[in-house]
Structure 1
């Protein structure tokens, strides 16, 4: 599959500025406190968000575009922290920095009973790594103000993914899906077997796609 060429960088940078401004403040009264006590700010900038309608993949942000996005995430984190500190109650607040799938990066927070909700979102391998701040240029100092923990960025599938033949349009569609899934499971991955089934799900298959760095002030 070919890579899509990104054009109109000035327009993209303006969109990044608007996305940053739209997310600097938490609506603590109307959303975070009264709904589900969890909130996040993903990078909502076209074409890195949403579904591609063309037969191509969007390259990950780089250069000035990536710097502006990351700076926006760090500013959002700092502003949210200021607001959450005023609540006087425990909270979870982290920057999730994905590499190389940077466009999935986001700021995530939770309060109340949901403080521990995100603690086990990512798998932490036995072999640890240290974030290389030099690769982020002028944002190195800003990034160094946070403590960064390493985990894996993974895609997850379970044993029910293929499903039964009757849910497919044709027998051929079913057999092609079975073949694709069998081929997928031959690639390196880790398997988690559940002690108790969750519905019909008994196993989870996790495939490493990169790293995710969880940054926050302790």
Structure 2
């Protein structure tokens, strides 16, 4: 973390995290979510007294659950992560497939529902591919270097952080 200003834990578990990512069954997603929450809690205890850690969040992706992770960052990386996801206008709440017990634990967190998107470079697309793109949910944008991209929606990501004892819960499940 000192060198790059970030640290993260991803679900890189075989056979689900390969070149072609597969989604684990729901029962295993629940177990993996609990493991991510345990990592978050452990990191949170360790960094409570470190003011340089500005960003500590759990990212729960759906339906691409295998992209879920815990992310911690400082400085410029923290600012980058604050802006990486676009919040949705009309949140639908966490997936009910997670089950009532896990949803109860997740209610201890404050969640922001965002779009999960991936970039496609405009210059890489043929006319046929542009035609395909325009039939999908996307938004145009530019990268920091001015490169034109299309952001294609692939699902949702819930960005969560644990509430401190002083904060009131904001139930956005």
Displacement of 1:193: 4.7
Total equivalences in the alignment: 162
TM-score, normalised to structure 1, is 0.66
Residue 213 (structure 1) aligned with residue 161 (structure 2): no
- Provide the residue aligned with 1:135 in structure 2: 97
Of 87, 94, 118, the residue aligned with 1:155 is 118
* Cα distance change, pair 184–155 in 1 and its aligned pair in 2 (3 A): farther
- Distance in 2 (alpha carbons) for counterparts of 1:187 and 1:179: 13
- Provide the residue aligned with 1:10 in structure 2: none
- Distance in 2 (alpha carbons) for counterparts of 1:73 and 1:98: 12
- Provide the residue aligned with 2:171 in structure 1: none
Q: CA RMSD in A?
A: 2.3
Task: Trace 1:62-81 onto structure 2 (pairs within 5 A).
Answer: 62-81=25-44
Task: Trace 1:92-103 onto structure 2 (pairs within 5 A).
Answer: 92-103=55-66
**8 Å Cα contact 1:189/1:205 also seen in 2:** no
Displacement of 1:161: 1.6
Task: Please say which structure displays the higher CA radius of gyration.
Answer: 1
The DSSP-based 3-state class of the residue aligned with 2:39 is: helix
Of 29, 47, 50, the residue aligned with 2:15 is 47
Give the unaligned 5+ runs of structure 2.
164-173
Give the unaligned 5+ runs of structure 1.
1-31, 163-177
